[in-house]
Amino acid sequence: MLDMPRVREVFEASTDFTVGIEEEFAILDPASYSLAQRFDALFDAAQDDPVLAEAVAGELIRSEIEIRSGRGESFADAVAKQREARSRLFALAASQELLLGATGTHPWSPWQEQQIIDTEHYHRVESSLQYVAWRNNTFSVHVHVGVNGPERAVRVCDRLRAVMPELLAISANSPFLDGRHSGLHSARSQIFTKSFPRCGIPEAFGGWTGYADYIDFLVRTNSIVEFTQVWWSVRPHHSYGTVEMRICDAQASGDDSTALAGLITACVAQAAIDFDDGVHFNDPPGRVLEENFWRAIRYGLDGKLIDIARGEEFPAAAALERLLDWTAPARAELGIEPRLPEENGAQRQKHALAQGASMEEVYAAEVALTQRTYAAEEVTT
């Protein structure tokens, strides 16, 4: 949707703090744990299930599938819907003799062998991006949070720029790529976010006018034909009237994915509450945020991030506590209490590798965790 006056109306009609959760999964061969080009068969089978027919979608390649909660009137409502879709999808995959994985990258399956799904949108992506699209075999979790008011939505996105590296460090879950240990905690971010155009942490727009002018510029110069070609890691969603956070790696544990979605929801809500309360914040330059973004990609929670306001380093392991402190008012209002482990997915996999497990054994353990926790997860907030 590129009719910006109409998009403005969408945000004017939006309801605060509705929630939508989107999770991307690798489709795997159960014998080899390699990526399997089975999206079409799985998607077609899902059409016989009234819940999955609404919840399942494609995402670029034929070895990937996405489930969406749809609009939840609250975070708990969105989690309940996503839990139902998860359990049905995992049961369907099992009936098709397939496994589903949930790390940010697949450790070894060659990108050269993956096929783009047959949709107009993804054919357009492939045509315009070529190698950049072919190389992007990645998996993530996205969260939509309703924000009423176009000015407010853009300023919420501006406010969230500074916390995005912290969210990435917390969620980092892709140390392996191309059959080897990449040395990164989030290889997904390097091959997707650092490669796609109009991606990563956007500049601050200062308000609706600056944002709408930029989208109009992209259209006028034939840079985009649909707003989803703006792949920023946080963006106003033109169709839903939400702020969409897209910075995080997929989580191997369903519990961790749910908790991460809760933390993101709280961050968006707190940014909106701060806007309403007139809390001042500076818009850090992109060159400053890039330092933290790189540190999150490279070191995850094992390194240090920069407190931009103070110009001082702090342990990245403290990022979760810092975000919990900031979002305490929003979490109290929304009844969200995310429980994330001290060790994230990248750390867990790196530690297992250091203790002598092979990369194949490490990944198999992650897939087993995914099977246990997504197929029949209890609802927790």
Domain that holds residue 243: 4-375
Let me know if residue 381 belongs to a domain.
Answer: no
Let me know if residue 380 belongs to a domain.
Answer: no
* 74 burial type by CB count under 10 A (0-12 exposed, 13-18 middle, 19+ buried): middle
pLDDT band at 375 (very low <50, low <70, confident <90, very high): confident
Which tokens go with 366? Answer: 């992650």
pLDDT at position 379 over 50: no
Name the domain count of the chain.
Answer: 1
Give the distance from CA 227 to its chain's centroid. Answer: 17
Let me know if residue 116 belongs to a domain.
Answer: yes
> What pairs with residue 56 in β-bridges?
67
Question: Taking a C-beta distance cutoff of 8 angstroms, is the pair 331, 80 a contact?
Answer: no
**What is the CATH number for 343?**
3.30.590.20
In this predicted model, what pLDDT tens digit does every residue of 346-374 receive, in sequence order? 999 999 999 999 999 999 999 999 999 99
Let me know if residue 29 belongs to a domain.
Answer: yes
In this predicted model, what pLDDT tens digit does every residue of 180-196 receive, in sequence order? 999 999 999 999 999 99
Give the distance from CA 65 to its chain's centroid. Answer: 14
pLDDT band at 73 (very low <50, low <70, confident <90, very high): very high
CB within 8 A of 358, min separation 6: which ones? none
> What pairs with residue 68 in β-bridges?
22
SS3 302: helix
Its pTM surpasses 0.85 = yes
Provide the pairing of β-strand 61-68 with 19-28. Answer: antiparallel
First to last CA, the chain: 33
